[in-house]
Amino acid sequence: MEEWIPLLDIFLKSPSPETEAALWLDEASISFSSSSSSSSSSSPINRSSFVSLLKKQSYINDQNSSPSANKVMFIETLPNMVQSRILSFLLYDHRRFCGKDLVWLAREMLGGGKEVDFWVQRAAQNLLDIMPERKFDWISRLDLGSDDDGSIVEEFDSVPDWLTEKKGGCAGAILPWLPVSCADVDSETLVVDSCNEEDVMTQGRDNMEVDHREAVDEDDHEINVALQPDVHEMAVNLRAKVMSCESTSEVLALCDEIRKLCLMKGRDCLRVLALVEPWNAEDETAAVLLSNLLSGNEEEESGWPSQILCSTVLPKFLALEKSASRVLMSATIEFCKIHQRAAEYGLVFPLMLRKEGINTFICEVISRVLKECWHLGHISSFCQKLLCGRTKERKIMFLPCHRDLISDDMTWNESLFILFQNILTHDVPLTQGSVDCLVSKVQEMAERYCKSLKFGNFLLHFISKCAPMLHAHKYPLIESVKCTNSLVTKSILSKLNAL
């Protein structure tokens, strides 16, 4: 086991474990081969033995679990971060491993009803998706020897027996293969024929437009309808106080009233806050609200810290057209240091997804929050989620009235590239998936920002910081950079050619 410690160290500490692990295995395998004659009793060090180590079964003592649940693989005893990095390495270097072993390992990680970490599950699924064996191994379980191709095709194209019987006893069917008579169809159902197809489709479009407008109207008034009249009246009164507070003591009293109104059992905080409109307060008032709306008893899981952020400072930053005030920025930083998850859900994610794209001033806000409030690993995980995650996997919190300001995807512009440059300058260890997504965006945007110095500086930092993970993208990147014509184009090409 001791001979594998350096490799596990790479997965634990390296910013680019995939390439370093592949290099270590190559060197260790060569060293073992050259010294095998003198120490023939030692176990080999190669890719096959590494997978065998990962698959090695261990037993844990848990009397409350079944014997099968007490049986775990060696890889499952490692920290979640190390597990996901190992699986990413197996994906990166999968052509040099036995495919059946990788498929078996990935399935074991995903199967058995075990609770698996999100990133471990994602890495195992990616590994399983890329392996060709999984697409065809089900064929071996089918008994196809007694049937010829003609009978299989005929059986596939044939109508089921129950539908054939129905068809025989159904007169006046709408369609010859569907046993539904005209009498079974409701009179309001649209039946399109060649004569009135255009009229019917026009009618359908008109109905859809009416339905859409009704849905929008209902959504606009949903906040008012969902709250009790007395709660609605109290929220409106608090809104007036938010605008008229002049002293700190008044704001502190206001914090108590807002907190009591929002945190009453069974009450929707977001709807109440949307009526109170705390984001319309002066920056000094908003800073006091942000610092005092939490009483200290609320847990992060309750969502209250995220709701405070998205209703107090998020709308201010979404509309930012100049540098944020020092008092508001200081209060935001102190809040985000303590409530990092709330900062992700209720501030940074929505700002990154601003429909018009972030500007220079919003870029400054996000950069300060990331740099002063989050750990490097948290920033790396956030970038992975932002660049590679599916939309439904993102947990974002904002008020319904601000929905039109936020998009489902990032709007790429120069300020966004500057933000990622700031992240790289902060020595954040990006994952291979994040690097691949950034390369894709660089190729897509190279012509648009061909003369942009900001885009060029991002590329320069990107290649310098992520060089070990860019070997596979070297030539596509060179072609993209050749489309640009900025002051740093030659420097970028020089660095790419040196990969």
* 463, 496 contact by CB (below 8 A): yes
- Residue showing tokens 């539908």: 163
Which residues does 142 contact at the CB level (< 8 Å), separation at least 6? none
What is the C-alpha separation between 20 and 18, in angstroms, rounded? 6
Q: What pLDDT is recorded for position 413?
A: 94
Which one, of 132, 161, 140, 8, lies nearest residue 79 by Cα? 8
Which one, of 418, 307, 327, lies nearest residue 370 by Cα? 418
Per-residue pLDDT of the chain (499 residues; tens, 9 = 90+): 778 888 998 988 888 888 888 888 888 887 776 665 545 556 778 888 898 889 888 776 655 555 556 678 888 888 889 999 999 999 888 888 888 889 888 888 887 667 788 888 888 888 888 876 444 444 444 444 444 444 444 444 455 666 666 555 555 555 555 555 555 554 444 444 434 444 444 454 444 444 333 333 333 333 334 567 888 888 889 989 888 888 888 889 989 899 888 887 666 888 889 899 999 999 999 999 998 888 766 555 668 899 999 999 999 999 999 999 999 999 999 999 999 999 999 999 999 999 999 999 999 999 999 999 999 889 998 998 899 876 666 788 999 899 999 998 899 999 999 999 999 999 999 999 999 999 999 999 999 999 999 999 999 999 999 998 998 899 999 999 999 998 999 999 999 998 8
Which one, of 313, 347, 388, 354, lies nearest residue 88 by Cα? 388
- Residue showing tokens 């995939």: 18
* 255, 288 contact by CB (below 8 A): yes
Backbone angles phi and psi of 75, in degrees to 5:
-60, -30
Q: Max CA-CA distance within the chain?
A: 90
What is the C-alpha separation between 28 and 6, in angstroms, rounded? 10
CA dist 449 to 241, 428, 439, Å?
Answer: 48, 25, 14
What is the C-alpha separation between 359 and 413, in angstroms, rounded? 8
What is the C-alpha separation between 228 and 230, in angstroms, rounded? 6
Instruction: Give Rg (Cα) of the chain.
Output: 30
What is the C-alpha separation between 368 and 345, in angstroms, rounded? 16
* 349, 386 contact by CB (below 8 A): yes
* 450, 484 contact by CB (below 8 A): yes
Backbone angles phi and psi of 166, in degrees to 5:
-60, -40
Q: What pLDDT is recorded for position 134?
A: 45
What is the C-alpha separation between 351 and 341, in angstroms, rounded? 15
What is the C-alpha separation between 461 and 418, in angstroms, rounded? 10
- Is the pTM for the entire model greater than 0.85? no
Which one, of 95, 105, 101, lies nearest residue 130 by Cα? 95
What is the C-alpha separation between 89 and 100, in angstroms, rounded? 16
SS (H, E, C) the chain: CHHHHHHHHHHHHCCCHHHHHHHHHHHHHHHHHHHCCCCCCCCCCCHHHHHHHHHCEEECCCCCCCCCCCEEEHHHHCCHHHHHHHHHHHHHCHHHCCHHHHHHHHHHHHCCCCCCCHHHHHHHHHHHHHCCHHHHHHHHHCCCCCCCHHHHHHHHHCCCHHHHHHHHCCCCEEECCEEEEHHHCCCCCCCCCCCCHHHHHHHHHHHHHHHHHHHHHHHHHHHHHHCCHHHHHHHHHHHHHHHHCCCHHHHHHHHHHHHHHHCCCCCCHHHHHHHHCHHHCCHHHHHHHHHHCCCCCCCHHHCHHHHHHHHHCHHHHHCCCCCCCHHHHHHHHHHHHHCHHHHHHHHHHHHHCECCCCCHHHHHHHHHHHHHHCCHHHHHHHHHHHHHCCHHHCCCCCCHHHHHHECCCCCCCHHHHHHHHHHHHCCCCCCHHHHHHHHHHHHHHCCCCCCCHHHHHHHHHHHHHCHHHCHHHHHHHHHHHCCCCCCCHHHHHHHHHCC
Q: What pLDDT is recorded for position 44?
A: 79
58 phi-psi bin (left φ>0, alpha ψ -120 to 50, beta other): beta
CA dist 181 to 104, 163, 195, 197, Å?
Answer: 51, 14, 21, 20
Amino acid letter, residue 110: L
* 447, 483 contact by CB (below 8 A): yes
Which residues does 15 contact at the CB level (< 8 Å), separation at least 6? 429
Q: What pLDDT is recorded for position 67?
A: 57
Amino acid letter, residue 36: S
